[in-house]
Amino acid sequence: MKRILITLFTINCSLFTISAQTLERLRADAVRLASRGYFNKSLDCLRQMSADSLNTEDMRLYYNNFVQLGQNDSLAYWADEMLKNNPYDAALIADYTPRLNKGWQGDIAWKSFPDKVITICRKYVEQDSTHILINRQLGEAYYNMGNYDMAQLELKKLEAIGDTCFGTLYTLGLTYQRMGDNSTAYDYLYRAYEKNDHHPYCLFVLGIVSNKVGLGAEALSYLDEAKKLLMPDRQTLFRLHKELAEAFRLKSEPDFRLEELQECMRYAEEKDVNELTYQMAQCYFVLKQRDKARDYFNKFLEATENKEYNDKIKEMRSSAQRTLRMMMW
């Protein structure tokens, strides 16, 4: 009886054990699907493999799939699992730590993980203290934590071994500014600006420190350029206010809708003006500002006379004429 039970147990276990051949097929399918952009299907293959059968490359594929899908908590889980096995995986650390420094949206607010970056990078530099990409993230993490003394130390080490890229110079400039050394901050931010003269925040902070060191005219030029770069272009502003106007229309709030349409008019191209004029007339009518409604409807009708070039304009003209007749009663 005991032998029969052991045999049955062995048979039952074999039903749940994936053969080596099946395992390799799943592994190959997961790689193939990921290479073709089917990241969720690749994950489906990986999930059919038991945890104890996963090798480093399987875990890396998990990580890469979640990177592609933008699922940050999941990619963090698999990166941490790999680092448990190998805390000196330079390629993974160089990809993972910038994501932790930048952070992502959590359940309540945006969160970054500089303390975790420091732990990962400090462990790595026990073995290799000269990896520029990893040391950059270490300096960035200290800056993000507000530990400016350590940030300065790590970033100056990078400069000493020849790393004078925009990012290193820029973060050094920010660090010195935070430490109250505006003169040195200016030097580094200006060097960063020479490498990238279209970075709005570099220009913005360079303008601030230029003011602090008495370079008022120079500060104005940097701040003015920063303002231009930070300001959305005309078309984007038009679309933004147009969508806001539509949202207020759907909420039946004509006063706010009218304000957004007026903003639209500031950024509108000629082809958009007639439709905006009609929509503003509608708002004035609903708000019982009859004189303005009448003016805007008439302005729209005059501008579109003999220009009924599509059904939308025809319908708007008919609606405007009906509303004007109604206001005469």
Flag residues of the chain having pLDDT under 70: 1-17, 308-309
Based on the fold, state whether residues 244 and 256 are members of the same structural domain: yes
Domain count, the chain: 2
Residue 225 lies in a domain: yes
Separation CA 218–CA 212 (nearest Å): 11
Last residue of a domain, one of 231, 250, 276: 231
Last residue of a domain, one of 181, 196, 231: 231
Separation CA 296–CA 320 (nearest Å): 9
Residue 275 lies in a domain: yes
Based on the fold, state whether residues 220 and 252 are members of the same structural domain: no
User: Looking at residue 310, what is its pLDDT?
Assistant: 76
Based on the fold, state whether residues 220 and 256 are members of the same structural domain: no
Based on the fold, state whether residues 315 and 272 are members of the same structural domain: yes
Based on the fold, state whether residues 222 and 301 are members of the same structural domain: no
Q: HEC string of the chain?
A: CHHHHHHHHHHHHHHCCCCHHHHHHHHHHHHHHHHCCCHHHHHHHHHCCCHHHCCHHHHHHHHHHHHHHCCHHHHHHHHHHHHHHCCCCHHHHHHHHHHHHHCEECCCCEECCHHHHHHHHHHHHCCCCCCHHHHHHHHHHHHHHCCHHHHHHHHHHHHHCCCCCHHHHHHHHHHHHHCCCHHHHHHHHHHHHHHCCCCHHHHHHHHHHHHHCCCHHHHHHHHHHHHHHHCCCHHHHHHHHHHHHHHHHHCCCHHHHHHHHHHHHHHCCHHHHHHHHHHHHHHHHHCCCHHHHHHHHHHHHHHHCCCCCCHHHHHHHHHHHHHHHHHHC
Based on the fold, state whether residues 226 and 242 are members of the same structural domain: no
Based on the fold, state whether residues 289 and 319 are members of the same structural domain: yes
Last residue of a domain, one of 215, 231, 247: 231
User: Looking at residue 309, what is its pLDDT?
Assistant: 66
Tokens 């007339």 belong to: 281
Domain with residue 248: its CATH number is 1.25.40.10
Residue 37 lies in a domain: no
Separation CA 195–CA 197 (nearest Å): 6
User: Looking at residue 109, what is its pLDDT?
Assistant: 80
Separation CA 249–CA 113 (nearest Å): 42
Residue 227 lies in a domain: yes
User: Looking at residue 306, what is its pLDDT?
Assistant: 81
User: Looking at residue 106, what is its pLDDT?
Assistant: 78
Residue 302 lies in a domain: yes
Residue 187 lies in a domain: yes
Residues of the domain holding 183: 164-231
Strand pairing class (104-105; 110-111): antiparallel
Residue 253 lies in a domain: yes
Based on the fold, state whether residues 289 and 307 are members of the same structural domain: yes
Based on the fold, state whether residues 211 and 249 are members of the same structural domain: no
Based on the fold, state whether residues 245 and 227 are members of the same structural domain: no
Q: Are 120 and 134 in contact (CB under 8 A)?
A: no
Residue 129 lies in a domain: no
Based on the fold, state whether residues 273 and 308 are members of the same structural domain: yes
Q: Is the dihedral of CA 205, 206, 212, 215 positive or negative?
A: negative
Based on the fold, state whether residues 226 and 266 are members of the same structural domain: no
